[in-house]
């Protein structure tokens, strides 16, 4: 088990596009496990590989509530196959945008395909918090943060705060 360092905005790595995983190797499986450890430690409900400085299309998610059994999901090369026209609004946060939250509107339901840690293909229908979280994490693989979905004014307020927090470190 390893806790990895989480990059925070405005780190340039967070704006880069991640590469597909060609082959699911032990190295990828270790990355997935370390990412889950890091996410639970933070704590958070989702983490994408670019957030720990690895530009690969790998994400982990666990949207189980505090009083529920953990339900970790590991996704390699996740891809949104379909998104509903209906949208939902959630207050989102991000481990790479510490202490900042903002309402983001996204499709309410999505169909997602991905490979698991054994290289087996899956397709799932996600709604509610899981749908939001999957879209948020896949955004990371494209170099997009949730603050890129909000108004310019709100975004610059958050970025100013983050820059101040970094300087204070």
Binding site membership for Fe cation: which residues?
Answer: 94, 136, 140
Q: Counting contacts by CB under 5 A, is residue 14 touching Zn ion?
A: no
Q: Counting contacts by CB under 5 A, is residue 39 touching Zn ion?
A: no
Smallest gap from Cβ 131 to Zn ion, in A, equals 15
Closest among 158, 144, 136, 39 to 88, alpha carbons compared:
136
Q: Counting contacts by CB under 5 A, is residue 58 touching Zn ion?
A: no
Q: Counting contacts by CB under 5 A, is residue 94 touching Zn ion?
A: yes
Contact (Cβ atoms closer than 8 angstroms) between residue 43 and residue 76? no
Smallest gap from Cβ 4 to Zn ion, in A, equals 14
Smallest gap from Cβ 140 to Zn ion, in A, equals 6
DSSP state of 4: P
CA 18 to chain centre: 12
Contact (Cβ atoms closer than 8 angstroms) between residue 129 and residue 63? yes
Tell me which residue has its CB nearest to Zn ion: 94
End-to-end CA distance of the chain: 27
Catalytic residue annotation: 137
Q: Which residues lie near Zn ion (CB under 5 A)?
A: 94
């Amino acid at each position: 088990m390893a806790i990895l360092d989480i990059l925070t905005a405005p780190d340039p790595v967070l704006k880069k596009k991640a590469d597909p995983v060609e082959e699911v190797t032990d190295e990828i499986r270790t990355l997935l496990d370390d990412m889950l450890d890091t996410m639970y430690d933070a704590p958070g409900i989702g983490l994408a590989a670019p957030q720990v400085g690895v530009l690969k299309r790998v994400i982990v998610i666990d949207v189980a509530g505090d009083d529920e059994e953990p339900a970790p999901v590991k996704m390699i090369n996740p891809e949104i196959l379909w998104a509903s026209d209906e949208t939902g609004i959630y207050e989102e946060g991000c481990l790479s945008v510490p202490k900042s939250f903002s309402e983001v509107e996204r499709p309410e339901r999505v169909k997602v395909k991905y490979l698991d840690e054994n290289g087996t293909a899956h397709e799932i229908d996600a709604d509610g918090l899981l749908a939001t979280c999957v879209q948020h994490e896949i955004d990371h693989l494209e170099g997009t943060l949730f603050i890129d979905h909000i108004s310019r004014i709100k975004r610059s307020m958050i970025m100013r705060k983050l820059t101040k927090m970094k300087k204070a470190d």
